[in-house]
Amino acid sequence: MDSRSNTRRERTFQYDEDLPPLPVPSLQQTLHKYLQSVKPFLSEEELHETEGIVGEFAHGVGKTLHAKLVDRSEKRKNWLEQWWEEKAYLETRLPLGVLQNPSGPIPAQESMWPPREGTQLERGAICLWHLLSFYQLVRKEMLPVDKNRAGTQIFSMNQFRGMFHSCREPGLEKDTLYRYFKTEREGPCPTHVHVMCNGHIFKMTVFDRNGQLLTAAEIYRQMSYIKDMSRERGQCVGALTGDDRPTYAKAFEHLVSLDPANRAHIETIKSSIVGCIMDDGHPTTMAGTCAHGIAGPSPHNRWFDKGYSTIITSNGCACSNLDHAPFDGMVVVALSMYIHHRMLKDGGDMPGKPTVRPDIPMPIEMIFTVDQRVRDDIQHATETYHKLASTFDIVCSSYYQYGKDFMKKHKMHPDATIQLALQLAYYTATGKPGAAYETATTRQFYHGRTDTMRSCSMEAIDWCKAMLDSRADPTHQLSLLRRAHDKHNTLMAEAASGQGIDRHLLGLYILSQEMGLPVPDLFTDKAYTLSGGGGNFPLSTSTLGYTPILGSIAPMRNDGYMCCYRIGKEELQFTVSAFKNCAETDAYQLFHEITLALNKIGNLLLSAKL
């Protein structure tokens, strides 16, 4: 990466092509670690049976599949990239609305922007202007390159390309993802966003003919015009995107067959920089705003296929809705942090000059040609969405006993500490180990995204059992805590360095299917599902780092939980989501258990100083 010495300013994407290829772990290592990861969920007899299955796989078809995977890795710098996009996202047939698309509120709601009626247009214009300023940085390749804290490890910036001008189209068996983003050096990009309001969809140009971003005041005027033109309920075509993918695919094909103009409108939406939604709804809490973004009151103002959409409610609460296929959460955190800092600088007020030029083109509404079938399809999709949204539950709350500083003082990594608290909380609430997914970033590699860090280790469960044993000595409990903590850190470091197990196993599974082979026994063995394999983690988790940013997404399973958290210096904040129609889960109860688990950890650490 000697190019760093040849330029005074690093360009956003300048190192991406130089990053090392995603490695393929050794088969022996992956299978050994896999056996370690399934132990918490099996009896001795069951473990013995699974060991036999894994051994047969290692010396049989697994060896063949692994050789094929190594061969693939020698021909592609990222052997996983296409598979992951397709299998994890584009081939999933569940609705994007509620079940797949994440969201998050902006921190300003708890400070300079409390909910207030009459602020929707002004706050919406401010949010969109800051978002587009960030977009300009990416287009101009002026966004700083992400690195580790020491500045010695460069991370892939490729996902920032997927945040803008991206959208998918539905298919019966697989969706198609479209990306239109280019840097300024690579060529021109469309200069519009699409705006949704009361079931209407508008094309709004946000750059003038000289390529300059409109002022925030000009964007405010444009949004005011759209609001005024949307007093009556619109066609609500966007609701179609909330149905299950095969049903939506049929409805989509019919819609575009009615009129070439319908296809042109969809191309306008697909190629837009982002979506901007002026929404109904009056959330009053961070939990309410987060729920609004994921499972809001109506799908009529959504285009769930769109890569990124910013949402502003009637009472001025801001959040987002985004397709997970083109990018991961930490890219959104970077955008949110940029907007947050710019808003702090401006005090939440309208940035820039109050200039409003008279010759800026007004937004144009996209009117679709529809028939009774389209109207019926919209009604069906709306019912599908409402049924799912009515089951979504979320808690957003804080823990104030301690934060990063306390954990660091006691030589505990904050993320590992919180993950162990989640394990203890789940074990206490359910009486059994919780197969847990934690996101591990692999962005140090070419086009790297994520791997799974399986945080339910035997070391963690041994500690949980000791914590629930009233006869256990605190010194012993503390020793087990540190042992589990160190194991967690080791597993996370391995996953981030491309030595995780789940993506490797996924690659072997996909190859078996592409080769027309029977599904190997390893993947049908109950140990695989019980330990979370195949997207079956009852506890899915993700850290948002040392930031003020929050977010959430639905659990992987109907009987599961999703827990996101941010780490402050003196406090922690969580979102816990679950489904109301599952009698076995309760988001409020799990959050309560998390706070109790954190208290117990804090008391253990303090006891060591007595």
What was the pLDDT predicted at 610? 54
pLDDT tens-place string over residues 274-326? 999 999 999 999 999 999 999 999 999 999 999 999 999 999 999 999 999 99
User: CATH number of the domain that 598 lies in?
Assistant: 3.30.559.10
CATH number (domain holding residue 338): 3.30.559.70
According to the model, what pLDDT value does residue 355 have? 86
452 has a pLDDT exceeding 90: yes
| Banded pLDDT at 608 (limits 50, 70, 90) | confident
Tell me how many domains the chain contains.
2
Q: State the residue range of the domain holding 241.
A: 96-146+154-167+188-390
| 29 and 66 co-located in one domain | yes
Q: What is the DSSP string of 373-401?
A: HHHHHHHHHHHHHHHHHTTEEEEEEEE-S
Of the chain, the end-to-end C-alpha distance in Å amounts to 51
Q: Assess whether 449 and 313 both reside in one domain.
A: no
Same domain for 482 and 551, yes or no, is yes
Residue 131's nearest CA partner among 303, 320, 289, 281 is 320
374, 390, 406 - which closes a domain: 390
Based on the fold, state whether residues 257 and 136 are members of the same structural domain: yes
Q: What is the mean pLDDT of the chain?
A: 96
327 and 439 share one domain: no
pTM over 0.75: yes
Indicate if 316 and 422 belong to the same structural domain.
Answer: no
574 plus 460 within the same structural domain? yes
Is the same domain home to 71 and 206?
A: no
Q: Contact 220/125 with Cβ under 8 angstroms?
A: yes
For residue 174, is it within any domain? no
Whether residues 231 and 128 share a domain: the answer is yes
Q: pLDDT tens, 371-413?
A: 999 999 999 999 999 999 999 999 999 999 999 999 999 999 9
DSSP 237: G
pLDDT tens digit sequence for 245-269: 999 999 999 999 999 999 999 999 9
Domain boundary among 357, 390, 423: 390
Residue 542 has pLDDT above 70, yes or no: yes
Q: Which of 390, 410, 429 is the last residue of a domain?
A: 390
Predicted confidence at residue 3, as pLDDT, reads 38
301 and 317 share one domain? yes
Q: Where are the alpha helices (DSSP H) in 495-548?
A: 502-514, 521-524, 526-530
* Residue 2 predicted with pLDDT over 70: no
Each residue of 418-448: pLDDT tens digit?
Answer: 999 999 999 999 999 999 999 999 999 999 9
Q: Tens digits of per-residue pLDDT, 75-114?
A: 999 999 999 999 999 999 999 999 999 999 999 999 999 9
**Per-residue pLDDT tens for 566-605?**
999 999 999 999 999 999 999 999 999 999 999 999 999 9
- Residues forming the active site: 324
Cα separation, 378 vs 298, whole angstroms: 12
Would you say residue 4 has pLDDT above 70?
no
